[in-house]
Amino acid sequence: MHIVSDTASSSSSSPNYITDTMIQNQFIYLARSYTNASIGFRLAGVTRTTNDTWARNGDDIGMKRALRAGTYSSLNIYYQSLLQAGSNTPGVPAGSTLLGFCSLPASGVTSTTPRSLYHIDGCNILSGTMPGGNMQGYNLGGTTAHEVGHWNGLLHTFNGNSCDASDWGDYVADTPQEMTSTSYKDSCPNSGISSSAYTGLSSQGSNPYGPQGFSGLDPIHNFMDYSNDACYTGFTPGQGARMLNVWNIYRAGL
């Protein structure tokens, strides 16, 4: 975990200072969020850096070149106090506050791949989303669980924004098909397969993925939807299986 603060919030007297307790509580939240997916984490260390440019995401490459630790199997999370969208952030005006973003696993990385070729791998997260942070509605720790889902290979449950039966959505069969994020309704009422067709890993065998999610209410409690932290409860068995498969294919042993 890398705590990257602007000058104002780097002082322990600042109301936006990230305390050791907040860091510990965030790690506990992350670990508990992935327990049912049989995924564990070990906190290898915490760094603290004061840099106004890095804190607002002004030099992402420079920051990660300087701070990234470990190998391709090492999750690096950068908690930035003023995380903003850059000029090339899709669908978000430059300078807008971001809750976070994270890289998906990439193919072709081996044990001999120079770190310089994957130094951007990791998660950037607004530090105010940590437990006790200043981002109201999003300060219980859920943003980290969501973004780390991307690092583990998950897409949004509303990926594709389609109700078409031919749309593969998030490539996980046991998440309901969803037209838009956090709708709290059945946004695809006439699409999707029977929920009884995918009831868990035991019935799905080695391939728990289908061309679309089953029918049902939009999964607002799923970490990979867009919801307030209070709504988040976990991942589906299919998402857990996908993350483990992705880990074994792209990151294990590296």
Check residue 208 and give its pLDDT: 44
Q: Which residues are catalytic?
A: 147
In sequence order, what DSSP letters do the residues of 121-182 get, joined into one string? -SEEEEGGGSTT-S-TTS-SSHHHHHHHHHHTT---TTTT----TT--TTS-TTS---SSTT
Residues of the chain with pLDDT under 50: 192-212
In sequence order, what DSSP letters do the residues of 93-110 get, joined into one string? -TT-B-SEEEPPP-TT--
Domain boundaries, the chain: 2-153+237-251, 158-218
**2-153+237-251 under CATH 3.40.390.10, yes or no:** yes
Check residue 164 and give its pLDDT: 75
State pLDDT tens for residues 163-210. Answer: 776 777 888 888 888 888 875 566 666 554 444 443 333 433 443 444
Check residue 210 and give its pLDDT: 44
Check residue 221 and give its pLDDT: 92
The answer to whether 51 and 10 have CB atoms below 8 angstroms apart is no
